[in-house]
Amino acid sequence: MTLPDLSWLAIAIGLLYLTAAACIYRILMTYRTAQGALAWVLALIGLPYIAVPMFLLFGRNRFGGYLKPRPTGDAALTELLNRFEQQTASITQRDHKHFHDELQVLCKLGRQPFTRGNQCDLLKDGEATFDALFDAMENARDYILLEFYIVRSDKIGQRIKAILKRKLAEGVEVWFLYDDIGSVWLPRKYLRELAAAGANIASFGDGNLRRMRMQVNFRNHRKLLVCDGEVGFVGGINLGDEYLGTAMDEEPWRDSHCRITGPAVTGLQLAWLEDWNWASGEFPSLNWAPATPARGDQEVLILPTGPADTYETCTLFFLNCINNAQERIWIASPYFVPDFQIMNALQLASLRGVDVRVIIPEKSDSQLIRLAAYSYLVQASRAGIGIYRYQPGFMHQKMVLVDHRYAAVGTANLDNRSMRLNFEITAISTAGDFVEGVEHMLEEDLASCRLMTERDYRERSIIFRLACRTIRLAAPLL
């Protein structure tokens, strides 16, 4: 039979199965978990009409083309970063007390030093965070770097825009990076006004032709601000009224952030620079001289994680914290859909006598994730893991407290998206006053929580339990 005799339908079906075969080849050569790979392969064979477009949109687990300037980039930048490491005392030095413990591992994961001479202040809620953000921007002299997953054009968003336009008029440079998926509802007019005032703007979904590689499943979930290379902020708070409890028809969001001064700000700035380079192809000229605040003596590490890393950095961060906890590990996460590695580590920690507590919200912006979390109650309860549901409002903060040794605040959740798909960032401090502040804050949150038990799952209807278990199967996509 000659080619012209073939129907267009047969050609389309053939191309579809060839594409499915190519997807299967890629899965077999790059998969990270056997369960996920098997699920995709079976779907591509049995339902290629649905699975092929789904895989092209959501199936990739590596983020290609993301330039890491530290090992491969500009020579001048590399020299500056080498100078940064030389000028800052770090636990990478053999005589440091933490050289042989898990904190050294975190330095290797983040490819950054754990610097001394910092001041890290906990910002317990949205009001404290926005007051500090506004103040830092108002006092910026040279430049302002912003990177947020969600930017809204509400009261907070308008206040941010007004400050930035005023600083631009004063000659301060503004570099504004947002995620085009998280900020999908941000009006283009908002961005045009900032651009007209002189701001440099880019979305993380850009990257010239790289945008066409269908990497929509990867999101830049980071929330950070740096002013003049001297003061930086990182945490779970986006730019929106919901964090003040003033958004219409929404419960107030419980969240926190932290303010950092000192050489660790360079780590925040470096993470921003890598993301900006991906989105725009540019390397702005920034201040790389490590700053040392007059009152700062804290050890702080900035840990960026994401799908462009050599390792599953975020997963290894959580495993490192859980496996090395000796007395307690408390985790606050709005999205609790852990994979088997994390769940097994939590169970083992509890079984060896560690006080394991996980704070999750009662009310959530994702009912699928809320239901999936119920399916873990039996495993958690039997191992002695405390699952606490925060009752007032939506608990959105991301915190980790390990013993009395260190605490972390950042953007990473206990779900597959943070572990393998999102670009996240975390600040870790060993300072006693910071750790104590996180402890007191989490104790206050726990007082507003309800301890979940196995009965909360077992006594629900069979339909409810079946729904929870079914949704849990989709955990890699949640």
Active-site annotation, residues: 221, 223, 228, 396, 398, 403
Q: Characterize the bridge pairing of strands 422-429 and 219-220.
A: parallel
Separation of alpha carbons 370 and 395, rounded Å: 12
Separation of alpha carbons 170 and 142, rounded Å: 10
Alpha helices in 330-454 (DSSP H): 340-351, 367-374, 377-383, 416, 432-447
Instruction: Kindly list the distances between the CA atom of residue 171 and the CA atoms of 137, 143, 202, in Å, as whole numbers in the listed order.
Output: 13, 9, 20
Burial 241-250 (b: 16+ CB within 10 A, else e): bbbbbebeee
Separation of alpha carbons 133 and 315, rounded Å: 30
Question: 155-169 vs 188-196: helix axis angle to the nearest 10?
Answer: 20
CB 50 within 8 A of CB 19: no
Pick the closest to residue 435 from 412, 405, 409 (CA basis). 405
The string of DSSP letters for 227-290 reads ETTTEEEEES--BSGGGGT-STT-PPEE--EEEEESTTHHHHHHHHHHHHHHHHS-------SP
- Give the containing element (helix H, strand E) for 147: strand 143-148
CB 328 within 8 A of CB 403: yes
Q: Characterize the bridge pairing of strands 399-402 and 328-332.
A: antiparallel
- In this structure, the chain runs to a length of 478
Separation of alpha carbons 366 and 108, rounded Å: 34
Q: Characterize the bridge pairing of strands 231-235 and 406-410.
A: unpaired
Burial 150-175 (b: 16+ CB within 10 A, else e): bbbbbebbebbbebbbebbeeebbbb
Instruction: Kindly list the distances between the CA atom of residue 78 and the CA atoms of 27, 231, 279, 406, 408, in Å, as whole numbers in the listed order.
Output: 35, 22, 20, 30, 27
Separation of alpha carbons 96 and 274, rounded Å: 29
CB 162 within 8 A of CB 137: no
Dihedral (Cα; 415, 418, 420, 423), 10-degree rounding: 170
How wide is the angle at C-alpha 63 spanned by C-alphas 345 and 419, nearest 5°?
15
Residue 227, beta-bridge partner list: 144, 231
